[in-house]
């Protein structure tokens, strides 16, 4: 693994975590919707 790959892997993982928190975290629209459904 070269430096770029390590960077992309760490960046990708953080991005996925951010997406999950943003859409499913407290007060998110998706969460409110699922609760209502």
Partner 1 sequence: MAMVTSSRGMEETEQAGRPDTADTARDKSETQAISLPVTGMSCVACARTIQRTLEAVPGVSAAGVNFATNRATVRFDPSLVTVDSLAEAVRSVGYDVLTPGAGDVRDERSIEDVEQRAREAEYGRLCRRLVVAAVFSVPIFVLSMAEVVFRGLHWVELALAAPVIFYSGAQFYRGAWASVRHRNADMNTLIAVGTGAAFTYSVVATAAPGLVAAAHGAAAVHHGAPVYYEVATAIITLVLVGRLLEARARGRTSEAIKRLITLRPRTARIVRDGIEIEVPAGQVVQDDEVIVRPGERIPVDGEVTDGGSAIDESMLTGESLPVDKAPGATVFGGTVNRTGTFRFRATRVGRDTTLQQIVRMVQEAQGSRAPIARLADVISGYFTPIVICLAVLTFVAWFDVLPPGARFATALVNFVAVLIIACPCAMGLATPTAILVATGKGAEKGILIRGGDILERAGHITTVVLDKTGTITRGQPEVTDLIAVGSHLETSLFARLAPGSQGGKGHGLGYDPPPDAESGGFRYDPLGEEEALLAVAASAERRSEHPLGQAIVRAATARQLPVAEPAAFEARPGFGVVATVDGTRVVIGNERLMRQEGASTAPVDDEARRLTAASRTVMYIAVERLPDSGHRTPDDRVLEVVGLIGLADTPREQSARAVRRMKDMGLEIVMITGDNAATAEAIARAVAPDGEISRVIAGVLPDAKAGHVKALQAQGKVVAMVGDGINDAPALAQADVGIAVGSGTDIAIEAADITLMRNDLGGVADAIALSRRTMGVIKQNLFWAFAYNVLGIPIAAGALYPFTGWMLSPMIAAGAMSFSSVSVLTNSLRLRRA
Question: Which positions lie near partner 1, rule CB under 8 A?
Answer: 1-2, 4-5, 8-9, 12-13, 15-16, 19-20, 22-24, 27-30, 32-34, 36-37
Contact assessment for residue 20 and residue 28, using Cβ atoms and an 8 Å cutoff: no
CB of 20 to partner 1, least distance (A): 7
CB of 8 to partner 1, least distance (A): 5
Distance between the two ends of the chain, CA-based, in angstroms?
A: 45
- DSSP annotation of 37 reads -
CB of 18 to partner 1, least distance (A): 10
């Amino acid at each position: 693994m070269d430096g770029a790959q390590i960077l992309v892997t760490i960046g990708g993982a953080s991005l996925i975590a951010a997406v999950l928190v943003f859409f499913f975290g407290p007060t998110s629209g998706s969460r409110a919707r699922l609760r209502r459904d």
